[in-house]
Amino acid sequence: MDSPTPHSNHLISRRDALIASAATAAAVSSHVPATAAPAAAPTAATAVPRARLSLTVNGKAHSLELDTRTTLLDVLREHLHLTGTKKGCDHGQCGACTVIADGRRINACLTLAVMHDGGQVTTIEGLGTPQNMHPLQAAFVKHDGYQCGYCTPGQICSAVAVLDEVKRGVPSHVSADLNARPILSAEELRERMSGNICRCGAYSNIVDAITEVAGSRA
């Protein structure tokens, strides 16, 4: 048999405290007037702002009506169900969401879809298929340029745009001569791909894959 503690008459058990607090909450809620005003109807100031836009994604035209605050990344993944583009950080830090918009690589998490009204977007699904891979997709497979694969769509979209930037003579922060046509050295490649983080650390194989394709295009 339990012997009572010296203060058993004054102490409240944890169970009693929970019962008491639940009873208090119920009492408070029961005093909410039945005639409480319903939630105010949305006004012009609180209504969700919406807009209609057209977007061509991987060559297919889409007409969408959206909350204007929707990011391009959420449009691709949630509205168009193109889940190849990944959401890593949602803050522009990791590059997992990289897509090519009107010829330039961008972080889809950092841009609103309405800013691309009438634009063209290419995602990993638009580069190739398992049966007919883009040369960079094939090179990533050949060189084992991934482990978990979460960063890979962003890495490949970025790499496709990098090769195009080099071809167009776009300098990077490590280009010694801003007017000379850049050569895709290891330093240039690492700088240009520095916005794409790989948590698995597959960097050396990623560099091998891109270098092979770049070499075959030189």
Query: Closest distance between ligand FES and the C-beta of residue 100, in Å?
Result: 14
Residue from 75, 76, 94, 106 in contact with ligand FES (CB under 6 A): 94
| Interaction of residue 148 with ligand FES, rule CB under 6 A | yes
Do strands 104-107 and 119-122 pair parallel, antiparallel, or not at all (unpaired)?
unpaired
- Dist. CA 85–CA 89, nearest whole Å: 13
3-state secondary structure of 155: helix
Q: Which residues pair with 57 in a beta bridge?
A: 60, 121
| Interaction of residue 136 with ligand FES, rule CB under 6 A | no
Contact, 180 vs 166, CB < 8 A?
Answer: no
| Interaction of residue 202 with ligand FES, rule CB under 6 A | yes
- Which part of the chain contacts ligand FES (CB under 6 A), choosing from 22-30, 95-103, 118-126, 157-165? 95-103
Contact, 146 vs 140, CB < 8 A?
Answer: yes
- The token pair at 51 is 């807009």
Residue from 57, 75, 76, 96 in contact with ligand FES (CB under 6 A): 96
Draw the binding track, 160-199, toward ligand FES (x: CB under 6 A; -: no contact).
Answer: --------------------------------------xx
For residue 145, CA distances in Å to 65, 140, 208 come to: 38, 5, 8
**Which residues would be at the binding site for ligand FES (CB under 6 A)?**
87-90, 92-97, 107, 109, 146-152, 198-200, 202
